[in-house]
Amino acid sequence: MDFSKATILITGGNSGIGRALAEALAAQGAKLIITGRNATSLKATLDANPGMESYELDVSSPDAVKRFAMTVTLQHPDLNAVIHNAGIMVIENVLAESVDLDIAERTIATNLLGPIRLTTALLPHLRSKSEAAIVTVSSGLAFVPRADTPTYGATKAAIHSWSQSLRHELRDTSISVIEIAPPLVATDLTPGQSANPRAMPLAEFISEAVSLLSAAETPSEVLVQRVMPQRTAERTGNFEAIFGMINPA
């Protein structure tokens, strides 16, 4: 898949990894369409990147996703790649006297059902292209979770599994299925994360990830070196040690 010549839709492309990916891919020559829930940050992204186009979209809304898929394919018939980047990560207290399941439900609706619904809606259009791609964004936490964000880790593990199944089911089509699994990256996904000294600088992550994504042979997984200890934790027998690093007693 030559992403430099693609028309790419990135959900959550108005901030963090999504915006940085959009800007890096646009710099290579791709046409970028971004979505987000925040009109202000969408406008700021477009002001800084005049060649992009944007739509307000809440990927957790089934009706909004259906309407959006119809609109974007009608207005951009050349669309041939989608990067499912939109996501939320919220700390949950499972020991609270009253557990608020709204966090878990919103996380599942955004991080898991959003990509499934949007892919389902876009799949007939993507299958009509001679070359297309569905890119999911999971996380190193899909493989070794952070215990105080249990639903986030669960959705990312599910996205990893779903990506594997989707790749197999689409093996005889023109659609590549690629999973990007970021490590801890310095963004505003959670409070204080952008200043966390343990986080990989965003620019470094994007540079390495886009280089891997743009390889001559399209990868099934985009894994920067920083995420490999998590990705291989089970296989290497290091799961307990890495889990302890992420979740100190």
Q: What is the DSSP letter of 185?
A: B
Query: Would the pLDDT of 214 be above 90?
Result: yes
The pLDDT score that the predictor gives to residue 99 is 87
The pLDDT score that the predictor gives to residue 110 is 98
Q: Which amino acid is at 200?
A: M
User: Mean pLDDT, to the nearest integer, of 221-241?
Assistant: 98
- Identify the structural domains of the chain with CATH numbers, from first to last: 3-246 (3.40.50.720)
Q: Which of 68, 152, 162, 205 is catalytic?
A: 152
Q: Is the pTM of this model over 0.85?
A: yes
What is the chain's mean pLDDT, rounded? 97
The pLDDT score that the predictor gives to residue 178 is 98
- Give the model confidence (pLDDT) of 144-182 as tens digits: 999 999 999 999 999 999 999 999 999 999 999 999 999
The pLDDT score that the predictor gives to residue 82 is 98
The pair of three-digit structure tokens given for residue 3, joined into one six-digit string: 């992403």
**Closest to 227 (Cα-Cα) out of 212, 215, 214:** 212
55 belongs to the catalytic site: no
- Give the model confidence (pLDDT) of 46-105 as tens digits: 999 999 999 999 999 999 999 999 999 999 999 999 999 999 999 999 999 888 899 999
The pLDDT score that the predictor gives to residue 128 is 98
Indicate if the alpha-carbon torsion angle 55, 122, 190, 222 is positive or negative: negative
Calpha distance 27→24 (Å, rounded): 5
**Closest to 139 (Cα-Cα) out of 246, 235, 65:** 246
The pLDDT score that the predictor gives to residue 231 is 98
The pLDDT score that the predictor gives to residue 100 is 84
The pLDDT score that the predictor gives to residue 60 is 98
User: Mean pLDDT, to the nearest integer, of 183-199?
Assistant: 95
Calpha distance 221→180 (Å, rounded): 6
User: Mean pLDDT, to the nearest integer, of 129-144?
Assistant: 98
The pLDDT score that the predictor gives to residue 16 is 97
SS3 content of the chain, % helix, strand, coil (to 5): 50, 15, 35
Contacts of 28 (CB under 8 A, 6+ apart): 3, 4, 210, 214
Query: Would the pLDDT of 249 be above 90?
Result: no
Band of the pLDDT at 246, cuts 50, 70, 90? Answer: very high
The pLDDT score that the predictor gives to residue 59 is 98
Contact 177, 167 (CB under 8 A): yes
**Closest to 69 (Cα-Cα) out of 35, 40, 111, 110:** 35
